[in-house]
Amino acid sequence: MIYLDHAATTKLRADALQAMLPFLGEQFGNPSGLYAVGREAQGAVDSARETVASILGCRASEVVFTSGGTESINTAIRGIALAMQRAGAGGHVITSAIEHHAGLHAVQYLEERGFEVTEVGSDQAGRVDPAEIAAALRPDTVLVSVMLANNEVGTIQPVAEVAAMVRGFTNEQGHRALLHTDAVQAPGWLRIDVEALGVDALSLSAHKFGGPKGTGILYLRKATPFTPLLHGGGQEMQKRAGTENVAGIAGTAAALEAASLGVEERGRRVRALRERLREGILASVPGAVPNGCQVDCLPNNLNVSFPGVESDVLVGRLDAQGIAVSSGSACSNSTWEPSHVLMAMGVHIRQAVGSIRFSLGEETSGEEIDAVLAVLPGEVELARKASTPALSA
């Protein structure tokens, strides 16, 4: 298999597996236990928290382990907004139209409960304009949530610039507004420093950077107003109830540590492969159009539209050739549900429903890229013949 869907999930790193194994066997204790095996488990959780904190540039007490990116995003958005509202700070939230559904649906949840929501757009490269966020800020704004790097087109957002602007607004108004960023796609490709970014909350998902599925990280700045999403025991410093997934936490820390090494060199190598793929597609597939930014974006992400194609058809054809890529839309008969990200960017619906995301990994080779380029033109042509007549009209 040639795997080019690393934005969806990644292979478990060997370092992560080794870190997990003891806690899947003899060291099975509950971290809340006061006896030896419990203390061993708690020690592993504490050590992992210190590792993550050192990589993110924060205090260990500001790191909360969760079940994944979706929980981290929901916990940050709902937990902060509800706490701020209950404190009488207001009920207005700002987000962008290109967020992951975990963020958009969390904000929708708030809207259904009386919050007012402003959704800013993006330009054709998939970049959010800080000036649009500035214009949307109000005296009752309690939270701004903007992702760090887009999962569909790879555009890196100006989060640090947004943070400085929100802080300036806070100082001028004497009213606190907080900033959350979904950084799920960033590890391994960008250095993540919460102080440099200036965020109050940041969400990560372990399986995106070689950690186990079902584990995640939430950075929550000290003294940030917060209402827990889960209630029960007092785990995770009263912020996330439930017995900790010790093996998952150990694997998450080991994977994040490995992903944080050699970021620049990894990025240069993979960016060159992405450009090789991009140039090869544009040279060999008539009508192919790249979507999103081509410069200030993640080095491994390439989104391309193939007009006249239903993307699910092409994904299936490539799968039959042993190539794994993803579709940016869900097409079923005459019902088209194109990517909300591409639509927010102004991509025409006929182009959007034929979009494919190629997301490379650190182990992707030049030989694999050449193999994809060898079969892709023919598969696109066959997919065009198999697509609905409306797409070719």
Catalytic residues: 331
390 is written with which tokens?
Answer: 């409306």
266 DSSP 8-state letter: H
Q: Is there a contact between 195 and 336 (Cβ–Cβ < 8 Å)?
A: no
Give the list of residues 6+ apart from residue 193 with CB closer than 8 angstroms, or none: 56, 57
Q: Is there a contact between 48 and 236 (Cβ–Cβ < 8 Å)?
A: no
201 DSSP 8-state letter: E
Give the integer Cα–Cα distance in Å for 349 and 388. 14
92 is written with which tokens?
Answer: 């207005």
Question: Bridge partners of 141?
Answer: 92
Give the integer Cα–Cα distance in Å for 387 and 383. 6
Could you tell me what percentage of the chain is helix, strand and coil, using 3-state DSSP and rounding each to the nearest 5? Answer: 45, 15, 40
Dihedrals phi, psi of 338, to nearest 5 degrees: -70, 165
Q: Is there a contact between 237 and 222 (Cβ–Cβ < 8 Å)?
A: no
Cα atoms in the 13 Å half-sphere on the side-chain side of 131? 1
Residue 355 Cα distances to 21, 43, 296, 313, 383, angstroms: 40, 46, 20, 11, 12
DSSP-derived pairing of the beta strands 330-332 and 301-305 = unpaired
Nearest to 87 by CA among 167, 138, 143, 137: 143
